[in-house]
Amino acid sequence: MADSGELGVIAAQTKLRRTFAIISHPDAGKTTLTEKLLLYAGMIRTAGMVKGRKARKAVSSDWMEMERERGISITASAMQFLYKGVVINVLDTPGHQDFSEDTYRTLTAADSAVMVIDAASGVEEQTRKLFSVCRMRGIPILTFINKMDLPGREPLELMADVEEALDIQASALNWPIGSGKAFVGVADREAGDVILFEKQGIGGSERAASSRLSMEDAVASGKVSSELHEQASYELELLNEAGNPFSRDAFLAGDVTPVFFGSALTNFGVEPFFDRFSSLAPFPSARPVTLDSGEESIVEPVSEDFSAYVFKIQANMDPKHRDSMAFLRINSGKFERDLVVKHKRSAKDVRLSRSHSMFGGERTTVDAAFPGDIVGVVNPGSFAIGDTISTKGGFSFKPMPKFPPEVVAQIRPKDLMKRKAFDKGIEQLKNEGAMLILRKFGQPNSEPLVAAVGRLQFDVLQFRLQTEYRVETQLDALPYSYGAWLVGDPKAFKPPSSAMLAEDGEGRVIMLCVREWEKQYALEQNPQHKLLDFVD
C-alpha cells in the first residue's frame, strides 16, 4: 500500500508531465520543430536539419537509417527531457499518410497535440485526418503556423482556414510582425509587447537571439519599420474586435485551438511557443477502462496501483541489440524497474526488468517513471499492441482499432536458404503492427501476404528485411485496394468472384476486394454477415 507521502510524490510528478504528439501534413516542418524543442531544452548543442543531411547532422528523433536517407519520419518516436522545470514527453509521429496507422496509435498515448501547419499551404488533407482523430479521442490541440519566413498566405486567411477546415474556433495568442524575408518577430497579445529575433548560426542551428520591448520602442529603434507597424497594428485591432477569445477551459474541452506563428527553420517564435505550451498543455488525467465485469470505469493517475498499456512495438532499434522494444504509456501509479505486473491478455505475471527511455535511438535505463511517461521495455515476445498491464488487474484500457489495408502484395525471399531469417523478420515486423501479415483463408501454409495503408510501407518492409535480417525479397503487388473485416462464419460467406478472404495472425478474417462497391454487393449476397471498416 502506498502511503500519503508516496501518493504526494506521484501527484507532484504527474503535474509536471506534458505528454504530447506533434502532428502535421508531410513537409510542414513537424520534425524540425521537434528538433528545436530539443535545442531550447539544452538536449543538443546544434539542431540537425531534415533536409541536406549529407552536410548536416541527422535529426535526433529519426533514428532509422531509411529515415535519414529519405529525410522523412517513418516511425513514431518518443523522447523525454526537462524544459524549464517541466518534464516533456514528446511523441514525434510520421507525417506521411502511408504511416497513418502508427500515428493513430501514438495519439492514444498523448494528452495533447501540437498541430503544425505550413503558412503557404494552410490546412492539408493529412492534417484534417489527424485532427479528426484527436477530436474523436478528446485531445486538445495547439496550432503552430510554421514557415513564416517564407512567402505564404496572409495570417488572417490562415486563421480562417483553420476554423473552416477543422470546424474549431482559433484564437491567436501571438501575431506575426511581417512575413517572408520581412518576418522579424511576434507580438505577444497577452503581454501587449513584441518579441524581435535575430538569426544565429547557419540554418537555425543555434538559438535565435531575441529582445522583448514595446511596439513603440521597436519602431523608434528602427527594428520594426513603420509599414510593418501599421500592418500589425491594423490586424491586431481586428483580432481584438472580432477575434475569438481564449480560455484554457475551452481549449481543454477541444472548443478552441490557441494559434502561434513562427519559423522552426530560423527559430523565430519557437521559444515563446514552447513557453506557452508548458503552461497551457494538460498534465495526465483519468483514463477510461473496461472492468472484467463489462462495466465502464476510469483509472486515476494518482494511485497506489501502477497501470499502463502498450501502444507501440519496434524491433531492432539499436543494431547492437537485436531485440524488440514495447513502448508503454503509464496511466497510473509509479513505475519501478523489476516491477511485477499482471499481463491482462495472457493472465500471467511479468517482471519489467529491462526498462529504458529512448533518445535518438540511444537507450538509458529507467529506474522510476510516473503517469504520462513513456517507458520502453525489452519484449521477448510477451507483449502485443494494445496490451494492458497493471499491479492490481481486473480491467483493460480501450483497445486500439485496426484499419483495413489499401495496398496488398505477396512477398517471398529470393534465396530459399534465407527462409528462416525471412520468417523471423516477418514475425517481428508483424508484431509492430505497422502492416498486416495475412495468409489466404484456409491456407495457413501459403506464402504471406503483406497489407498496409500505403505503398511506402512495402519499401520500408523490404528495406528492413534486407538491412536487419540480410534477406532480399521479391514483392508482387496484388490488385486489392479495399478491405473490410468479416463478422460471421467465414466458411458460409460467399465473396465476389474478384475478392479474396484472408486471415491475420489473430485469426480475424478480412475480405480484400478490387473495387469499393464489392463490399456492398457482398453484404447483399450475405445478409447474415457484417463487414467492418475497423475492428478493436
- What is the distance between the alpha carbons of residues 388 and 331, in angstroms, rounded to a whole number? 10
Please state the domain extents for the chain.
16-280, 287-397, 407-532
- What is the distance between the alpha carbons of residues 71 and 52, in angstroms, rounded to a whole number? 8
Q: Which of 368, 364, 387 is nearest to 9 (CA)?
A: 368
pLDDT given for residue 133 in this prediction: 78
pLDDT given for residue 54 in this prediction: 40
Fold agreement (287-397, 407-532): no
- What is the distance between the alpha carbons of residues 19 and 76, in angstroms, rounded to a whole number? 14
Residues in Cβ contact with 408 at an 8 Å cutoff, skipping those fewer than 6 apart: 438, 449, 450, 451, 477, 478, 480, 483, 512
| Percent of the chain whose pLDDT exceeds 70 | 88
- What is the distance between the alpha carbons of residues 370 and 386, in angstroms, rounded to a whole number? 19
User: 32-55: per-residue pLDDT in tens?
Assistant: 888 888 888 887 766 554 343 444
User: 475-506: per-residue pLDDT in tens?
Assistant: 999 999 988 999 999 999 999 999 999 998 88
pLDDT given for residue 78 in this prediction: 74
Say if residues 289 and 392 touch (Cβ distance below 8 Å). no
- Cell numbers 470546424 correspond to 167
Choice between 43 and 173, residue whose per-residue pLDDT is larger? 173
Question: Would you say residue 142 has pLDDT above 60?
Answer: yes
Within a 10 A sphere around the Cβ of 409, how many other Cβ atoms? 22
16-280: which CATH number, 3.40.190.10, 3.30.70.2190, 3.40.50.300, 3.40.50.720? 3.40.50.300
With left for phi above 0 and alpha for psi between -120 and 50, is residue 333 left, alpha or beta? left
Give the pLDDT band of residue 31 (cuts 50, 70, 90).
confident
pLDDT given for residue 214 in this prediction: 94
pLDDT given for residue 180 in this prediction: 94
Question: Would you say residue 74 has pLDDT above 90?
Answer: no
pLDDT given for residue 486 in this prediction: 94
Pick from 4-18, 253-267, 332-346, 395-409: least confident: 395-409
Question: Would you say residue 235 has pLDDT above 60?
Answer: yes
- The domain over range 287-397 is classified in CATH as 3.40.50.300: yes
- Side-chain-side CA neighbours of 62 within 13 Å: the count stands at 27
Pick from 25-34, 256-265, 342-351: least confident: 25-34
User: 103-139: per-residue pLDDT in tens?
Assistant: 778 888 999 999 999 999 999 877 887 788 788 888 9
Q: Which of 152, 118, 227 is nearest to 235 (CA)?
A: 227
Give the pLDDT band of residue 5 (cuts 50, 70, 90).
confident
Mean pLDDT of the chain: 86
Q: Which of 130, 44, 143, 136 is nearest to 93 (CA)?
A: 130
Q: Which of 89, 102, 270, 304 is nearest to 197 (CA)?
A: 270
pLDDT given for residue 100 in this prediction: 57
User: 414-424: per-residue pLDDT in tens?
Assistant: 999 999 999 88
CATH number given to 407-532:
3.30.70.3280
Question: Would you say residue 9 has pLDDT above 70?
Answer: yes
**Letter for the amino acid at 115?**
M
Question: Would you say residue 72 has pLDDT above 60?
Answer: no
**Positive or negative CA dihedral for 161, 248, 81, 397?**
negative
- The DSSP symbol for 122 reads B
pLDDT given for residue 299 in this prediction: 97
| Percent of the chain whose pLDDT exceeds 90 | 57
Average pLDDT for residues 171-197, to the nearest whole number?
Answer: 95
DSSP readout, 330-361? EEES-EETTEEEEETTTTEEEEE-SEEEEETT
Choice between 66 and 143, residue whose per-residue pLDDT is larger? 143
- What is the distance between the alpha carbons of residues 437 and 502, in angstroms, rounded to a whole number? 10
